[in-house]
Structure 1
Amino acid sequence: MTIIMIILGMSFVTMLPRVIPAFVVEKLQFRPWINQWLSAIPYAALGALIFPGILSVVPDQPFIGIIGGIIAIILALFGLNVVLVVIGAILTVFLLTL
């Protein structure tokens, strides 16, 4: 019984900070520059997650990952679907490692 209460308590404490902003942020009005800054956070987080992986695709040859990342950027600038951008980058890295 104690374990169930601990699990329920931990799930509530974890869920609470995730649910509250969904209701509170909707009612707040921010200045335009704050909205612009907040909208850039997902891209910054995504870049922080992807960039180390680009450099460590082939540990001895980081330029292969960099070339794959550049190809992905070029394909994205052409407005291709995200799936096609990822496939293009993967195919580039695969061909360079042969």
Structure 2
Amino acid sequence: MSNTYIYILVAAVVSTLIRVLPVTVFRKPIKSRFVRSFLYYVPYVTLAVMTFPAIIDATQNKIAGILALICGTIAAWLNQSLFRVAIICCVVVFVVEFVLI
């Protein structure tokens, strides 16, 4: 058996366990306020952990990525739409990379 098949098998088992384990362990509604709030924020934290490094590393210059992250955070804080935040970040990266190159 080659390593590829072992990797696929391990991935399949882990994926299945992630989906089956909560159903078998938590049969009753979760009443703990702490656990419920923890589970509520897990998807947001996971998305943030995957997104923030990618924002900085996706540009040719890390300064452009950091400035875009800062400007996007400020725009989102000011209740701008997701489309506007994305446009602002793209413009910031374009301008900073144009100036620095």
Relative to the length of structure 2, the TM-score reads 0.65
CA distance 1:26–1:94, change in 2 (3 Å): farther
1:50 match: 51
Question: Structure 2: how far apart are the matches of 1:71 and 1:82?
Answer: 13
User: Taking every aligned residue pair, what percent have the same amino acid on both sides?
Assistant: 26
The number of aligned residues is 86
- List, as ranges, runs of 4+ consecutive aligned residues in structure 1 with deviation greater than 3 Å: 17-22, 24-27
The CA RMSD measured in Å over matched residues stands at 2.7
Question: Structure 1: how far apart are the matches of 2:21 and 2:31?
Answer: 17
How do residues 51-90 of structure 1 correspond to structure 2 at under 5 angstroms? 51-59=52-60, 61-90=61-90
Question: Structure 2: how far apart are the matches of 1:70 and 1:49?
Answer: 17
1:95 match: 95
Contact 2:64/2:96 (8 A) holds in 1 = yes
Read off the aligned partner of 2:82 and give its amino acid letter.
Answer: V
Question: Structure 1: how far apart are the matches of 2:40 and 2:82?
Answer: 19
Q: Per chain length, whose mean CA-contact separation is higher, i.e. which structure has more relative contact order (CA < 8 Å, sep 6+)? A: 2
Which runs of 5 or more residues in structure 2 are unaligned? 1-14
Question: Structure 2: how far apart are the matches of 1:73 and 1:26?
Answer: 39
Tell me the secondary structure at the aligned position of residue 37 of structure 1. Answer: helix
CA distance 1:25–1:91, change in 2 (3 Å): farther
Tell me the secondary structure at the aligned position of residue 44 of structure 2. Answer: helix
Deviation at 1:57, TM superposition (A): 2.5
Deviation at 1:27, TM superposition (A): 5.1
2:42 match: 41
1:11 match: none
Deviation at 1:40, TM superposition (A): 1.3
Contact 2:59/2:93 (8 A) holds in 1 = no
